[in-house]
Amino acid sequence: MYMILLSVFFPILAGVFLLIRFRTPLSGEGNASKRKTLVTLTGCFLVVTALFTGAAILTQKEGVTLFYLTKTLPVYFEIDRMGTLFSLLALVVLLCAGFFSFEYMKHEERESRYYGFYLLAFGVLNGLCFAGNLITFYLFFELLTLSSMPLVLHTGSKEAVMAGLKYLFYSLCGAYAALFGIYFLYRNCETLSFSAGSALKASAVAEQGGFLLAVAFIMILGFGVKAGMFPMHAWLPAAHPVAPAPASAVLSALIVKAGVLALIRVTGLFGRDFLQETWVQTAWLGLTLTTVFMGSLLAYREPVLKKRLAYSTVSQLSYILFGLAVMNEEAFTGSLLHVLAHGFIKAVLFLCAGAIIYKTGKTRVEELRGIGKEMPLTMWCFTIASLGLIGIPPTGGFFSKWHLAVGSLKSGLPVFDVLGPVILLVSALLTAGYLLPITVQGFFPGADYDYNTLQKKEPCGLITVPILILTVLSVLVGLFSDNIALAITAAGL
């Protein structure tokens, strides 16, 4: 009955245990046995958390109330189909990035601190996915910022600290804007439970519908910060380059999706009928398309690999938000497909970038000439993921963007029904422009490349196997996109 609580609080307690148990740095030969214990424990904690999460999804039939904040505000957990979708994505990416970390982080002095907060973030993400009402969701939304910020500032450099503070400032500003809206939702909704669907009181809509639209827009802006939506997107390109590569993968594939899930939950409470054909929908569509184009353009001009991928995340997340803002079934299906496709693809790209940095120390795009000759397996995975992000069939990115474009054309929205597909296409061309040259220069460095100095630098299995698993999954999302789309529609997501 309480498996859902184990999936949330076991990794949180495990993370706290690691932070307390391994307080001192583990660098040096004398600490080899301690590091082995740390890695073994972390691996076991990750696997056990995954088992608890899977068991909760399969067996938990009823919601669980942990306690009451007030007489009418419970901290309540319930597993629904939407939460299951996001939780399964988180489970796979966190396992793969976690095992990748065991090799990537082995020379880090603060390795134990990294694993401690990594497990904390795992539990908080589960709490976010399984939150049964808006109050519980908001509590874990705030905790997600606090548990993931140490992953950003892990190295302790000046740049990392400033990026971490920027992430904290932006996230808290967004969360406070959302909290402002929650006050008014509480007064004007029958319930804040997600299972109830649209919950606005008819009397509230009739008496103060205009004010509630303003509240909805403020909440969209607030929760949109975590999803990197313009104009509060700048924390993403600041945070990703300074964080360790596996942390960047988690940030880009999962943490930003918390903003997406928040917007799905909030717009569900307001109700699609209440928001459609209003200035809120128009403004939201405008912001998402601006973000899509701007993020792609900035990525195209960015010379640092991880920062280029961060700008790409800004753009690709707003593909998802655009589908939510269109507010029809076709576009919504495309959004959820892109949640999965982008999650796997962006995890692959950041882990590949991490593998390159780990083996060669190269961080800039112009330094990657010939990298495909040195690390062919890594670069093939990078290439396949890049094709998915561009939207080349049969990858998942093609089918998600197809549904988004068709949903936009079917919407009948003035201007946006045509402008949406046009900007999505332009963004896809820019995506090809900032990803494919890395592959071309990597595999075909030219006649003047010094092949005599070529050395194979493919990393070990702890790095390559997680990359391969995620690459395969990114393709499977495309190959089985029809089945996934049918499941989404049948489940009423």
pLDDT in tens, 180-212: 999 998 888 888 888 766 778 888 888 888 899
Q: Residue 448 sits in which domain range? A: 327-493
- Give the Cα-Cα-Cα angle 287, 192, 4 (nearest 5 degrees): 100
Task: Give residue 65's pLDDT.
Answer: 86
Residues of the chain with pLDDT > 70, as a percent, come to 96
Q: Which of 10-19, 32-41, 459-468 has the lowest mean pLDDT?
A: 32-41
Q: How confident is the model at residue 239 (pLDDT cuts 50, 70, 90)?
A: confident
Residue 78 lies in a domain: no
Task: Give residue 281's pLDDT.
Answer: 94
Residue 339 lies in a domain: yes
242-248: average pLDDT:
90
Separation in Å, CA 157 to CA 13, 64, 242, 364: 28, 42, 8, 19
Q: Which of 30-39, 360-369, 424-433 has the lowest mean pLDDT?
A: 30-39
Residues of the chain with pLDDT > 90, as a percent, come to 59
Name the domain count of the chain: 1
The residue ranking higher by pLDDT, 223 or 232, is 223
Task: Give residue 449's pLDDT.
Answer: 72
pLDDT at 18 over 70: yes
Q: How confident is the model at residue 411 (pLDDT cuts 50, 70, 90)?
A: confident
Residue 285 lies in a domain: no
The pair of three-digit structure tokens given for residue 464, joined into one six-digit string? 């390559």
Q: Is 276 left (phi over 0), alpha (psi -120 to 50) or beta?
A: beta
Q: What 3-state class would DSSP assign to 364? A: strand
pLDDT at 267 over 80: yes
CA 434/CA 375 separation, integer angstroms: 20
Residue 385 lies in a domain: yes
8 Å CB contact between 199 and 187: no
- Give the Cα-Cα-Cα angle 231, 235, 236 (nearest 5 degrees): 100
Residue 350 lies in a domain: yes
Residue 394 lies in a domain: yes
388-409: average pLDDT:
91
pLDDT in tens, 114-145: 999 999 999 999 999 999 899 999 999 999 99
Residue 163 lies in a domain: no
| Closest to 284 in 3D by CA, of 138, 86, 137, 416 | 416
Residue 455 lies in a domain: yes
The residue ranking higher by pLDDT, 454 or 48, is 48
CA 211/CA 258 separation, integer angstroms: 26
Q: CB-side exposure of 190: number of CA atoms within 13 Å? A: 13
